[in-house]
Amino acid sequence: MHLHQATPLIPSRALSLLAGRDVWLKMEAFQPPGSFKIRGIGLSCQHYLHQGAERFVSSSGGNAGMAVAWAGRQLGVPVIVVVPETTSARAVELLRQENAEVIVHGASWQEANHYAQSLSGSKDAFLHPFDDPLLWQGHATMIDEVAADGCKPDVVILSVGGGGLLNGVVEGLQRNGWHDVPVIAVETEGAASFHAALQAGHTVELAAINSVAGSLGAKRVSEQSLRCAATHPIHSALVTDSQAIAACSRFLNDHRVLTEPACGASLAVIYDSHPLLAAFRKPLVIVCGGATVTAEQLWHLSEKR
């Protein structure tokens, strides 16, 4: 039994008319915990439970933490989630709704992650938010579903934070024989660790994250993401915070679905006709979701632009 759900694959009339091409959406925002993360997290939790884990430990105040908490409640396994001090009260509330024990520690995710790892004992399973082959294997199932629906895009557009989604989508494309389908990997300008890695030829740690797209706020992208770039056609795209926020607002109006700015980054490629889009006629956008954003928060962000 999977903990994730097969999500709708829908043609977007609004975006297709706007872009002048056939735009498809993989609606990962409809997953029970609110994002694609449950695909890989769910697989990992089931794997570690089978190996005898008695508790799940994670380090995320966002989508990954929500996925671990939700999976733990479904499986009857206690969960500890360590979140940094920057985590919103809304996120903490949602984690506690899933019966997770929430510990606030550190000024950044890196500090929270280090502390979470120190809590993990011999009977615990530590769930990394993005850097684990089990996660990528689980995330790849969204491409399996697209293939099963008989829809082959000519490009996949997705947002990149730590790289877990990118790694999973590339794995899914390759195991379905879609080596010829490139990926447009989108980041906001203040959280572009993948773009920096491509430029340097190796992963680098950003000095700081300067973006409202908190879910993209990994200072260093996974090594696997750079390996994916060497084995699959991947184009790096950057958008501004303002573009990501505006895309969320427009998508809410067009599709009645609330997403966070991290997801809005990939949607902005369509809404703002990014130059990379010109070469493609049938793009698929991974609408990755966003568990903790509220309509009020999105409105305030829009007002500040």
What is the mean pLDDT of the segment spanning 1-17? 96
206 is written with which tokens? 């950003």
What is the mean pLDDT of the segment spanning 168-176? 98
36 vs 156: CA distance, rounded Å: 15
199 vs 276: CA distance, rounded Å: 18
Instruction: Give 149-159 pLDDT, tens digit per residue.
Output: 999 999 999 99
pLDDT band (50, 70, 90) for residue 70: very high
**Spatial CB neighbours of 101, under 8 Å, sequence gap ≥ 6:** 78, 79, 80, 81
81 is written with which tokens? 């989630």
Q: What are phi and psi of 82, to 5 degrees?
A: -95, 125
| pLDDT of residue 305 exceeding 70 | no
b/e sequence 16-27, b meaning 16+ C-beta within 10 Å: beebebbbbbbb
Q: Are 187 and 265 in contact (CB under 8 A)?
A: yes
Position 116, amino acid: A
Sheet holding 24-27, edge to edge: 9-11, 24-27, 283-287, 155-159, 183-188, 234-239
pLDDT band (50, 70, 90) for residue 129: confident
What is the mean pLDDT of the segment spanning 12-28? 98
Instruction: Give 288-299 pLDDT, tens digit per residue.
Output: 998 888 888 888
Q: Are 55 and 207 in contact (CB under 8 A)?
A: no
301 vs 305: CA distance, rounded Å: 7
Residue 54 CB neighbours (<10 A): 13
Q: According to the model, what pLDDT value does residue 25 have?
A: 98
13 vs 199: CA distance, rounded Å: 36
56 vs 67: CA distance, rounded Å: 11
Computed on alpha carbons and rounded to an integer, the radius of gyration of the chain in Å comes to 18
Q: According to the model, what pLDDT value does residue 253 have?
A: 95
The DSSP secondary-structure symbol of 220 reads S
| Partner residues linked to 81 by β-bridges | 58, 102
Q: According to the model, what pLDDT value does residue 146 have?
A: 98
Higher pLDDT, 304 or 132: 132
